[in-house]
Structure 1
Amino acid sequence: MRLGLAANRLHHQTDDGALFNWMQHCEAGIRELQLQLHTVGRTYDALLDAGRLKDYPGLISYPYGRQGGLMQLVAEVVGMGTPERTLDGVVYLMDPVDPSSIFPEALALKRQCVIHGKPFLSTVASARDWIEMERIHAGFAPDPGADAFHHLEQHTLALIAHDAMKPTMMEFVSRNFDLLSRFDKRVGTGTTGQQLNELAWSKGWPKDRMWVNRFNSGPLGGDAQIAALVLNNQCQRAIFFEDPHVARQHEADIQLLERAVTTATTTAVCTTAPQVAQRWCDAAVKRASLR
């Protein structure tokens, strides 16, 4: 597999930066999976300077961002005609207050990952969780260091879907209802939350109990309410099925939730592609059977 890799300056300028946090926990898994990391210039330099992935042939240098490195990752998410120039996803550790995180190439990178159903991993927690997911699918034993991401009975899950993606969310939840019911709490916005409660009741969930705690609709501040939970470490995982093809009147609210996730980089896992969300569910069920 091939992943693009970039990190904003905040995440690699000190020894405890997010990039090195990820490496500390996942370097062994990266080597086990034989991942290729197509790494934008400054991030590549930071790894070498820190002695991470030393002599690892899968660490591949790309131009600096100012020289088009991030733009090149966007093109290779879409695909450049040959397998060796097509990325399977991207780790982009984002600093929500770094202006480069909202440059056109940064926004396009996420959008193309969503369109093409590929992982866009913008937090340490998401990147760690993804490595463990792929390890389980590859047949490796569970990593005890990733157990914290699978204590579902202690976690809150946010389930959010834009209008065009609501049927996809309903199908996803119906297919994975037993697993998702293991979470301590589930939260959602407006219409999506109501539809999910009705689905749960149709599956035998007690009629006097909400399966999803409903917040306001997105345009009326529901995204902001859930963002507050993320920032206060009261929501550990968000599954957010976005529709990248429509203009959204409440774009600022959506960006607020995304910024909250990247602010809580070590605790918040966010999944935006249905294919990736399903792959995580399959891995979580398999992992539980191995414990």
Structure 2
Amino acid sequence: MHLGLAANRLHHQTEDAALFALLRACEAGMRELGLGLHAVGRTYDAIAAAGMLRGYAPLVRYPYGRDGGLMKLVAEVVGMAEPGRTLDGAIYLIDPVDPSSVFPEALALKRQCVIQGKPFLGTVAGARDWVEMERMHAGLAPDPNADRFHDYGAQTLALIAHDAMKGAMLDFAAGNFALLSRFGRRVATGTTGQRLNELAWSQGWPAGTPWVDRYNSGPLGGDAQIADLVLERRCQRVIFFEDPHVARQHEADIQLLERAVATATHDAVCATAPRVAQRWCDAALLRGARVAR
């Protein structure tokens, strides 16, 4: 597997920066997986200067962002004809107040990951969780350092879907109902929340007892309400099925939630495509079975 890798300056300018925290936690797992990393120039330089991933051949340097490095990653997420130039997703550690986070290439990288059904890992927690997920699919033993991401009873899960994706969200929830029910709390916006509660009651959840706590609809501020939970570290995992093909009048609210997740980089995990979310559910079941042995 191959991922694009980029980190805004905030995340690699000090020894305890997010990029280095990620590599300290996941370098062993990345090596186990033989994970290819296509790193944009400044990110690659920071890794080399820190003496990390020494001698790791699958780490490849790309041009600086100003020279088109991030644009090349977007093309490779879509898929290039040349061998080795198709990415399976991207890690992009964003500084929410860095203007480059809203440059066209940054927005396009995330959008194409959603369209192609590939992981867009915008936080340290999300990237750590993904590495552990892929380790489970590879048949490896659970990493005890990842246990906190799987303590579902102590976590809140947000389930959000745009109009065109509500059917996909209901199918996802129905197919993974037992796993999602392990979370200590579930929250959702407006109509999605109502439909999820109706689904839960049809699955045997106690009638009249909400399976998800409903917030406002997205256009009426529900995304902002859930963003506040994320910022207060009271929501640890967000599954947000986005429809990237339509103009959205409340785009600012959606970006607010995404920036809140990026701000809580060590604590919040976000999946934005059904295929990625399902792969996580499958890995969670594999991990639970291995831990129970």
TM (normalized to structure 2)?
A: 0.99
Give the deviation of 1:81 after TM superposition: 1.4
Matched with 2:204 is 204
Give the deviation of 1:172 after TM superposition: 0.4
Give the whole-Å Cα distance in 1 for the aligned partners of 2:144 and 2:115.
Answer: 33
Matched with 2:287 is 287
List, as ranges, runs of 4+ consecutive aligned residues in structure 1 with deviation greater than 4 Å.
none
Query: Match for 2:278: what amino acid?
Result: Q
1:193 pairs with 2:193 = yes
Query: Match for 2:49: what amino acid?
Result: D
Give the deviation of 1:83 after TM superposition: 4.3
Matched with 1:216 is 216
Give the whole-Å Cα distance in 1 for the aligned partners of 2:257 and 2:285.
Answer: 28
Query: Match for 2:287: what amino acid?
Result: R
Query: Match for 2:192: what amino acid?
Result: T
Give the whole-Å Cα distance in 1 for the aligned partners of 2:165 and 2:127.
Answer: 24
Give the whole-Å Cα distance in 2 for the aligned partners of 1:236 and 1:71.
Answer: 30
What is the identity percentage for the equivalent residue pairs of Structure 1 and Structure 2? 73
Query: Match for 1:53: what amino acid?
Result: L
Matched with 1:259 is 259
Matched with 2:121 is 121
Give the whole-Å Cα distance in 1 for the aligned partners of 2:249 and 2:83.
Answer: 37
Q: Secondary structure at the match of 2:84?
A: helix
Matched with 1:63 is 63
Matched with 1:49 is 49
Query: Match for 1:55: what amino acid?
Result: G
Query: Match for 2:193: what amino acid?
Result: G
Q: Secondary structure at the match of 2:270?
A: strand
Matched with 2:155 is 155
Give the deviation of 1:273 after TM superposition: 1.0
Across the two proteins, how many residue pairs are aligned to each other?
Answer: 291
- Greater displacement, 74-83 / 219-228: 74-83
Give the whole-Å Cα distance in 1 for the aligned partners of 2:168 and 2:244.
Answer: 14
In the alignment, structure 1 segments of 5+ residues that lack a partner are none
Query: Match for 2:169: what amino acid?
Result: M
Matched with 1:171 is 171
Give the deviation of 1:120 after TM superposition: 0.2
1:23 pairs with 2:23 = yes
Give the deviation of 1:6 after TM superposition: 0.2
What's the RMSD between the two structures over aligned residues? Answer: 0.5
Matched with 2:94 is 94
Matched with 1:104 is 104
